[in-house]
Amino acid sequence: MRLDKFLAEAGLGSRKEVKQLIKKGVITVNAQVEKKDKTQVEPESDTIAYAGEILHYQKYYYYLLHKPAGTISATEDKKDRTVMDLFKSQDYRNDLFPVGRLDKDTEGLLLITNDGQLAHELLSPKKHVDKEYLAQVAGVMDRADQQRFREGIPLDGEPTLPAELMIDAIDEERRTSTVRIILQEGKFHQVKRMVKACGKEVIYLKRIRMGRLSLPNDLAKGAYRELSREELAQLKSSE
């Protein structure tokens, strides 16, 4: 791999920025100053350092974020705070992006990565990866609604894939329901629109699981952490 590519992927800066660093003579390869950006390096075996500090090569990054309400699932936004604004500068990279969208008022599990292939596999309806949501609903959901979810509800002129509606609790007095919904796709406002099609309204929504990865109880709203190897393996085997 070219030295400048290695340095950019190690998070040292953009390709242009790392070329400047190489020119300045602050990069060493196996303890020798290297001033050519085209130099080929072997990430596994060469020791590459910036100002004396050894750089570790990692191509893909995977973070589990507990998205708080009020943030946008995008990499940038002119008006609102994005989920990327929650990242500390030492973890931020400009190739990171959120896997799928949660609405501004939705909370919960959001994967942030630079691995486009994994993102595609988790989001493609053809891969049948579960997305599980916890919802508070105004209105009493019932067996007929469960049947509608199982059959698929017409949205945008075609039925959704079969989805699961589990009714965890009903508050008869307040006429509200606590439900869990499992989808295998992610149409725009899908949970809210499916519930609306049943004549009820989502008043709180949180994603609690994606494939085999659940939102950990000890991850505070707004906090994030890198996935462990086990969690990544679980996620990759989610289909």
- Residues 203/131/221/195 CA torsion (nearest 10 deg): 0
At closest approach, how far in Å is the CB of 205 from ligand URA?
6
Radius of gyration of the chain (CA): 22
Gap between the terminal Cα atoms of the chain: 32
* Identity of the residue, 99 or 191, whose beta carbon is nearer to ligand URA in the bound complex: 191
At closest approach, how far in Å is the CB of 211 from ligand URA?
15
* Identity of the residue, 26 or 155, whose beta carbon is nearer to ligand URA in the bound complex: 155
For residues 115 and 130, the answer to whether their CB atoms sit within 8 Å is no
CA neighbor of 133 nearest in space, from 82, 75, 225, 195? 195
Active-site residue (options: 46, 95, 103, 142): 103
Question: Which whole-number Å values give the CA distances from 122 to 98, 113, 125, 190, in the listed order?
Answer: 12, 12, 8, 16
Residues that bind ligand URA (CB under 6 A): 102-103, 106, 189-192, 205
* Identity of the residue, 102 or 165, whose beta carbon is nearer to ligand URA in the bound complex: 102
At closest approach, how far in Å is the CB of 20 from ligand URA?
41
At closest approach, how far in Å is the CB of 175 from ligand URA?
21
103 is catalytic: yes
* Identity of the residue, 102 or 232, whose beta carbon is nearer to ligand URA in the bound complex: 102
Catalytic residue IDs = 103
